[in-house]
Structure 1
């Protein structure tokens, strides 16, 4: 019996992810989800307390394992090479998102929307994510002076990790591959690591900051 319930809940969740991604949260109805999952609409209210609760369940089903991957590598920086831990965390995150590419797209899109769900559910998860990335990045620096402040490194790294799944169509056009393909993940991972090594190892005093030329003041 419990196995049947688990399959029903999983079917509802999968249908919600597909429809929320393609039609949007507001454009999807409970009946749409029930029809896709082949369940009675009452099951959705019973298990998830409606559409809002179902969206929250989608977010939780993403962030819980996602943050566990980061936490696992953060714990290892005390006895392993921190840079290797950071690299491994990056690859794990890419693989996880690739395997859950529809859910990943839904989650990162919801973050861009100033909704009650974003404020109450996502905010706490993002604080944990920032903590883990800061710990991993700071440890990987090993006392070096990076080319960018830690906060900017994290922002850029986060952007590169989410971009393929938030903008999968654009990435497919540029790279000729879909983010759900394992070959794409390997090539993209290599590109991120190349960028990261440069960002972590270039000294600030070695940077050249281009400045616009001084304006020419003409006298009459």
Structure 2
């Protein structure tokens, strides 16, 4: 144990081994000793996402994150090794949950049918992005950069995303409940709509006076996305072409 602690402290010469053992390692005689570890890890993650969003990844230091999370920098080294490791974990944290949202909807395709499945998927994605708003904004903004990490993310998580959407659209086109469309181009349009609230929040709030972090506005936006899908994708002759109520046009008030 002492050898491992010394290895962890190599990058932090100002932290003594005694201080690390007294303040950074947690041993609990009763209950689950993982509770505080999980809490500390989540606090670091929350602080990192907030600061990455506020200042940018490169302008944020390990000490900034530690101060925001009210933890010792050694905790970050323990859980994530370094700032790059923390960045990678931020991506994994968000995208693993996002892919789970896709999976649990697409698995119901045979039971619900393509139209209802797509409507429910759109609703769940927008609600998920609202719940993890800072993470979504940072991840989608950062994923536009040309880096090795982003290439790995696109070849894994976003390829999974494409697979689930394409499977759903192909099934709808094959069964003639969807119109025949170019699947790649339609996915690009749909993806642009779904990510608009998190990619352009300042424009939404400062210019349009709508607030994508609030459930009311995100629900209204979801209705407009569903309207777009109904008008551009649902086959007009299919019996289930009207799957949701038509709200008034979204005016932001």
Using the TM superposition, name which of 140-149 and 152-161 deviates more: 140-149
Using the TM superposition, name which of 14-23 and 138-147 deviates more: 138-147
Q: Are 1:86 and 2:118 counterparts?
A: yes
> Which residue number corresponds to residue 68 of structure 1?
100
> Which residue number corresponds to residue 119 of structure 1?
151
1:171–1:137 Cα change, 3 Å:
farther
1:75–1:145 Cα change, 3 Å:
closer
1:79 Cα deviation (Å)? 2.0
Q: Are 1:56 and 2:56 counterparts?
A: no
1:75 Cα deviation (Å)? 1.0
Q: Are 1:107 and 2:148 counterparts?
A: no
TM-score, length-normalised on structure 1?
0.87
CA distance, structure 1, for counterparts of residue 154 and residue 63 of structure 2: 26
Q: Are 1:193 and 2:226 counterparts?
A: yes
> Which residue number corresponds to residue 206 of structure 1?
none
CA distance, structure 1, for counterparts of residue 131 and residue 178 of structure 2: 35
1:55–1:109 Cα change, 3 Å:
same
> Which residue number corresponds to residue 143 of structure 1?
176
More relative contact order, 1 or 2 (CA 8 Å, 6+ apart): 1
CA distance, structure 2, for counterparts of residue 25 and residue 122 of structure 1: 19
Superposition map of 1:106-185 within 5 A:
106-141=138-173, 142-143=175-176, 146=179, 148-185=181-218
More helix by share: 1
Using the TM superposition, name which of 167-176 and 124-133 deviates more: 167-176
1:137 Cα deviation (Å)? 2.2
Superposition map of 1:23-42 within 5 A:
23-42=55-74
Could you list the runs of 5+ residues in structure 2 that have no partner in the other structure?
1-32, 237-253
Superposition map of 1:14-25 within 5 A:
14-25=46-57
Moved over 4 A (4+): none
Aligned length: 203
1:179 Cα deviation (Å)? 1.0
TM-score, length-normalised on structure 2?
0.76
1:147 Cα deviation (Å)? 6.5
Q: Equivalent residue of 2:41, what SS? A: helix
Asked if 1 retains the 8 angstrom alpha-carbon contact of 2:115 and 2:234, the reply is no
CA distance, structure 1, for counterparts of residue 224 and residue 180 of structure 2: 17
Asked if 1 retains the 8 angstrom alpha-carbon contact of 2:105 and 2:117, the reply is yes
> Which residue number corresponds to residue 15 of structure 2?
none
Q: Equivalent residue of 2:110, what SS? A: coil
1:154 Cα deviation (Å)? 0.6
